[in-house]
Amino acid sequence: MQLSEQELVRREKLAKLRDLGINPYPADLYPVAQTSKDIKHNFEEGKTVVIAGRLMSRRIQGSASFAELQDSEGRIQVYFNRDEICTGADKSKYNEVYKKLLDIGDFIGIEGELFKTKVGEKTVMVKDFTLLSKALKPLPQPRVDAEGKVHDAFTDPEQRYRQRYADLVVNPHVKDVFVKRTKLFNAMRQFFNDAGYFEVETPVLQPIAGGAAARPFITHHNSLDIPLYMRIANELYLKRLIVGGFDGVYEFSKNFRNEGMDRTHNPEFTAMEIYVAYKDYNWMMDFCEQLLEHCAIAVNGTTKATFGKHEIDFKAPYPRVTMADSIKHFTGFDITGKTEAEIRQAAKDLGIEVDDTMGKGKLIDEIFGEKCEGNYIQPTFITDYPKEMSPLCKEHRENPELTERFELMVCGKEIANAYSELNDPIDQRERFEHQLELAKKGDDEATATIDYDFLRALEYGMPPTSGMGIGMDRLIMFLTNNQSIQEVLFFPQMKPEKKPLAISDDAKAILEILNKAEKLELAALKSQSGLSNKKWDKSIKELTKNSLAKVEKTNDGLFVEKI
């Protein structure tokens, strides 16, 4: 492992602390009694406090020093005075330990008294301090110059997602997003519990990937010697519980889809699904808009949220537009009563890419997605989807070509999907078989297997039921004004981190020279390196082989350039 100069210095300090008999990683409980927020909200001059956190900044002025301590609630100013900490003749705790052996990022515990500075800053006068954890790597801390400009800000998304632990420390606003995420889950859970519905858990490893159209992750169960699938949805298990006699069940589930990644999709994501007996999709629309109004207020204190250039208002009620009316409005084409061939031709005429694997439902979905979806900024229910698009949904009571389904659109994206659930086992079997035919034609989003156990459950009888799924990650994006799903996941999926190349010390020395010059005449570079012919040849080959430098022949001679 190649250590930086700062990391080496910190390890030297670690050794010195141990030599002084100070354990840099003590196991003892530290009796924290207050947080920075408690101190600021309930400030009393002269009050004794015990706090702990990271040392984030300090200004040492001889025998005194102002510093900042950061805990889970924010930052508080602390004042170190040598004679307050070291009341006897031995001043080493301040002079040696505090001034020389502590670093920014170290966790310390502080016992002290509260006072206000001349400018009114609430501050802790340190009476004693304890090192709780020595940080061996310096934090990627931004610095502000005299003109107020920020330098070295930790803003690179890839670094931030890989090192979320550092991101949370140095970018406090990031923590606020995750606090709001938890508020959202709590608010939704409270809303369901108050309505009398029951939170449950269903399997993550499933023998059949069902309940949605998606490509699954596959694993193997050694004891049973069978393949299993990471769940793509929990729908079919929750419906089994309705068959079993529960009137309302819900689950916050981790789902896994082995598909593409972009700003609104992650292979592992969190969905909420709820199923309520004796209800239909009209009731669920009312329930959904009341739920989201409640959640928006719980998270932000208002029904309104900013997302990019848009202000969204989650206050109920929301407009309701049928899919046919939406497509007709934005394209002029009426899908009602049209054949698959007519819809295919219309899609082509609209400039939409189609292929022979697409059935009627997929074609309609493509038209809606390309021409309509992006126009819905404020929360809007799109209702009454064609039957081909909804294999688990009940046939519309007034039009057998449609289903009783809605999706909730916000800022051109779907955040909720709901049905009057199909509970006719014969119809359900036929829908599954139709999906199989589509899969054979090459539709990779069609369900390629039939869940016969689920059909058996339906044959025992399932009451009229309405179900809804909400993408929790996407919803919190809208409520916190984040354009990327990676911003609302603590640890999003990433490509493997590239390991730094291990090169020889001689090659590093050449690279250091090139870092300053970018490009040098080969003879001059060789001379500056001070290497023997043998070492030079070996090192320059090492650099060119690892694509760290290249040798170019020009009219002026041979030059070495850093890549």
Q: Which residues are annotated as a binding site?
A: 407, 414
**Residue found by looking up tokens 């911003």 in the block:** 487
Alpha-carbon span 57 to 141, nearest angstrom: 10
Other Cβ atoms closer than 10 A to 163 = 17
Strand partners, 411: none
- Entry field: residues in the chain: 563
DSSP-derived 3-state class of residue 354: coil
Smallest CA-to-CA distance from 445 within 154, 232, 252, 226 is with: 232
- Alpha-carbon torsion 210, 212, 218, 221, what sign? negative
Q: Give dist(CA 310, CA 375) in Å, integer.
A: 12
Residues in a beta bridge with 50: 111
Q: What angle do CA 410, 415, 419 make, to 5 degrees?
A: 120
Residue 173 per-residue DSSP state: H
Q: Residue 467 in contact with residue 235, Cβ under 8 Å?
A: yes
Burial class (CB in 10 A: 0-12, 13-18, 19+), 337: exposed
Peptide bond into 317 cis (omega under 30): yes
What distance in Å separates the CA atoms of residue 107 and residue 116, rounded to the nearest whole number? 24
Residue with tokens 């959202």, as numbered in its chain: 184
Q: State the Rg of the chain over Cα.
A: 31
Distance of alpha carbon 526 from the chain centroid: 49
b (16+ CB within 10 A) / e for 50-70: ebbbbbbebeeeebebbbbbb
User: Which residues, in sequence order, are bridge partners of residue 61?
Assistant: 64
- Is the CB of residue 170 less than 8 Å from the CB of residue 142? yes
Please state the residue numbers annotated as binding site for Mg(2+): 407, 414
473, 490, 485: which is closest to 185 by C-alpha? 473
